[in-house]
Structure 1
């Protein structure tokens, strides 16, 4: 990975294995923090004390349910049309590959324009894509593989829209709460996404059984209206200017130096890429796993996906509860090692209910690892650089998913699904052990964690 000169005064080389943001981001130090959080509100949900965060959370939750419904229906439709796990991996790759290029541009835009307007434009494109898929499948306008290619093309279009707006969403999220609540906000976002991951597949299974995949695509199109309504009503603080206007090339280079010129940020990006690249194997190949290993249909697939999603909700809740105590390299490494073991055990088990247990635990550990790394990164960047910094992080995070999904699909096609799970699990265990030996991930105590 290239080494860039830092854009700010040099800081001490990170050596701490435990990051404690309380001193920098305590409610006492933050004038915007509410004096009294409702006593009945659990610690994991403290971010919900803020109106704009609640509105954005609700809109995103409704949209995520629709997205999961489409993802389940689309994966099963592709599998029925092709009978090949390779196309499942290719679909996942095309949906995430735009992050590798367009995310950098999206990050620069997110620091220049109103982030809400950028997000609204993205939602409109994704709504149009879902409507197009609804019409193509509902009218049976394209036969066989031509429909598969159209689905892949729409996945690419949706991925492009998400790549352009993803940095804006990640940059907007911490602005909806005081900085001492960023950990709860990030974990809360993981809660809504994974709670939708429980509800969406279950609804998709029922809707597909009675109305077919077309209805799932139509409901997803409608769900985008909810997040668009939320974006239209929130009032985030005015964005901080990064100084004199720079060219696009200068904006991107500044972001590269800011992120990769710092060892801690650089290593967090690497860790995110490795975790997502290996952890994506189970979600990507779950339809094939259901069909081949358990001879199941779309209903059983939706139940297994919901089981993994339920575990993910638990993992996100745990991280949100311990948001100020779990910024530790050892916590991240432990989650990765345990996740790798769960994937290996899933590959080996021949009992259905035991497979459900490993999916549940694996979902919890996967989201816990994601949320911990993401929260650490968000706490290490300033708001004037947030869009560009987050865009680079998303290149690593989502790029890892894209490449990992494609490789998992190809490996399962030429080998088998359980073997792919086992190999990915071994890789995650190795990454966790490497992270446990690293002493430079956590930021030093004197870094200014402005959010």
Structure 2
């Protein structure tokens, strides 16, 4: 089928299958951590703090990671980050297995994982182009990768809900540790013909500066990165509050929480499969605008849903909008950046995306603590809609931009 055309490339197929298993384990652990922390503390602020610790390194280290990856063998860096991630997962599994419920220790290990991810995510994204022989199939590969990640977002929390209710938290953490075995095996089987890297003549700090200048001078790239930064700071962190929705607002258990995560994952898969079927990158800007609008509206409706089934429907739409927004921006950057700057451009995307979420998690945690979780999620949706309107206004400010937007929205 056309939608799976990137799987004809052996290296991408191995990467796809290995990551599929590993990401299920990652989502099992993520669901278990959120549930465990809220079960032990009942604190929205601590939920935000755990999310902050796991993602704040991306804000600080992503630009450095992009420059470092551009100078070294990306495949070897990916192998190293996966091995260290497995060790971190093993350490977290051990402390939970022996019932050492120490919140500062969990936060510290979340911070370690965040540091690893700052390099790992940038490396995986920039290596994607090396796994696909023909550039025209790159958008399909990126979308399939997103589909795989969001299928894991459905399956992982669903498994976690069953395991948490039946066996306990420790089995979720052990499952994540074991899930790294297939991804490492698949990486060992890959055969990549990477471009031979010349010995760098410039310092890494100078390359950091060049990367920043390249992104900031390109109005299209900078506006996309600014859009994802605003969304990650004020809108995407709404997900931090879902344990509160599940446990307190809908009087559920760990299984109820897993339904919220899986509902968002279902919406994400739908949008990812649509993006995977695109034949070109031309409609990405329009898709991003529509997706951002859906995302904002769904959060407003989710915030004041009084029925669980209705809340899960709006949660599905939120996942659809969020996935389409982030994936469209990611694909746009990868397909509109020169090869020499790709990892650095992606690193700024990662910084704006994952780096802003931890700060946003603290903000929405404080807002929920002060004004209630429903108002906090509603405000996130309103800000998302305002950011989308501002982006459209920015793109139509110049006569040239106005003409392109008319064509984009099919209003001619």
* Structure 1 partner of 2:31: 72
1-side partners of 2:329 and 2:37: how far apart?
32
Aligned-pair CA distance for 1:436: 2.1
Contact 1:167/1:390 (<8 A) preserved: yes
Structure-2-length-normalised TM-score: 0.93
Aligned-pair CA distance for 1:277: 2.4
1-side partners of 2:68 and 2:318: how far apart?
36
Deviation per CA, 1:106-148, whole angstroms, max 9, x where unpaired? 1112111111111111112211111111111111235xxxx11
SS at match of 2:355: helix
* Structure 2 partner of 1:160: 115
* Structure 1 partner of 2:210: 254
Structure 1: gaps of 5 or more residues: 1-40, 446-451
Aligned counterpart for 1:213 among listed residues 169, 186, 196: 169
2-side partners of 1:186 and 1:278: how far apart?
25
2-side partners of 1:216 and 1:376: how far apart?
35
Aligned-pair CA distance for 1:273: 0.8
Aligned-pair CA distance for 1:161: 0.5
Are 2:330 and 1:374 aligned? yes
Contact 1:97/1:402 (<8 A) preserved: yes
Structure-1-length-normalised TM-score: 0.85
Deviation per CA, 1:245-282, whole angstroms, max 9, x where unpaired? 21111121121112112111111110111122233233
Deviation per CA, 1:262-310, whole angstroms, max 9, x where unpaired? 1111111101111222332332111111111101000111122111111
2-side partners of 1:379 and 1:327: how far apart?
13
Aligned counterpart for 2:8 among listed residues 15, 25, 49: 49
| CA RMSD, Structure 1 to Structure 2 (Å) | 2.1
* Structure 2 partner of 1:138: 97
* Structure 2 partner of 1:82: 41
SS at match of 2:22: helix
Aligned-pair CA distance for 1:241: 4.2
Are 2:64 and 1:96 aligned? no
Structure 2: gaps of 5 or more residues: 405-412
Aligned-pair CA distance for 1:370: 0.8
Are 2:316 and 1:383 aligned? no
Contact 1:106/1:166 (<8 A) preserved: no
SS at match of 1:239: coil
Aligned-pair CA distance for 1:242: 7.0
2-side partners of 1:44 and 1:436: how far apart?
30
Aligned counterpart for 2:301 among listed residues 325, 340, 345: 345
**Relative contact order, higher structure (CA 8 A, sep 6+):** 1
Contact 2:71/2:200 (<8 A) preserved: no
User: What is the aligned residue count?
Assistant: 400
2-side partners of 1:394 and 1:81: how far apart?
31
* Structure 2 partner of 1:113: 72
The verdict on how the C-alpha distance between 1:423 and 1:413 changes in structure 2, with shifts beyond 3 A counting, is same
